[in-house]
Amino acid sequence: MIDAGLGEMHVNSLLSAMNIPTIPPKSIKCREREIVPHLADMAEETCRKSLEEEVRLSDGNLTASFDGAWQKRGTGRAYNSLTGHATLIGESTKKCLGFSVMRKRCRICTNARKKGVPPRKHACSCSSAKSMEPAMACEMLQDIMNTGKQVNTLVMDNDSTTIARVKATVDPNIRKKCNYSNHTRKGFTGKLVDMSNTFKALKNVKVRGHVERCFMYCVKQNQHSLKKICKRLFLICMVNITNVGHGAGVKNQATYKPRNLPYGKPLTDQPLRVALEDLLKYMLEKSRNWPL
């Protein structure tokens, strides 16, 4: 209930559906204040043990993966979620090394401002929705440094704000390793879904999935060479739309059969090929910012 951000109404709705007597809000809050400190202590102890194991397996060269999320999804233009959370995952153990939760508003601070008095001592973790992710990254990395250990490499998405804040306030020597494949796949799939409004073939989930797999195979297999990515991206159109030409990246062109395309045959929509080529040009321009 606490981690999911559910309140008294959600809990009582669940209890009512299970034919269990409901519980008043004050009782929930009292039990929450009793339980939460113990849950937090257990979580912090687990993270501490995982950190020691990660340091032992990595021989002191600590690499961790970081990412944050919000209860309400950011659109790129509006970040107005009231809460946010983030985790730090060790590369060797794949276990949680740290976690952080922040909120946009604090009732204690708000009431103190209304009364014109300083707020009483409490655990406050307020921040704006957009600045939550950098703040949570700095908080977790600083907590690790306070234990006498240090994260040398941070694996994260292509977020320049977070790494700049970390270098400015925590460790100027930390290295960033960008994990771009997940966001790249999401962006490419979203473009294909938009194109499905124009091209009927892309309404087929299997067709979209086939084109997406071809694209991600190309990126993954040639991620250290931009020149190879340029060459392979446009072969996707040659293999999957109209006739397969020589040098299309297929070893045995006589027996090649795209199993996920309708009837196991290449598509024949020339306007779709032109649109896909334009999309691949767009993705190619974005690939110049990837850490190859």
Rounded to whole angstroms, the Cα distance separating 63 from 150 reads 9
- Tens of pLDDT, residue by residue over 233-262, are 656 555 555 443 333 445 555 566 667 677
Instruction: Specify the pLDDT at position 290.
Output: 57
Closest CA to 84 of 172, 201, 3: 3
At 222, phi and psi to the nearest 5?
-125, 30
In this prediction, residues 90-111 reach a mean pLDDT of 86
Instruction: Specify the pLDDT at position 31.
Output: 84
Instruction: Specify the pLDDT at position 175.
Output: 87
* Banded model confidence at residue 49, pLDDT cuts 50, 70, 90: very high
In this prediction, residues 100-122 reach a mean pLDDT of 84
* Banded model confidence at residue 105, pLDDT cuts 50, 70, 90: confident
pLDDT at residue 60 is higher than 80 = no
Instruction: Specify the pLDDT at position 244.
Output: 36
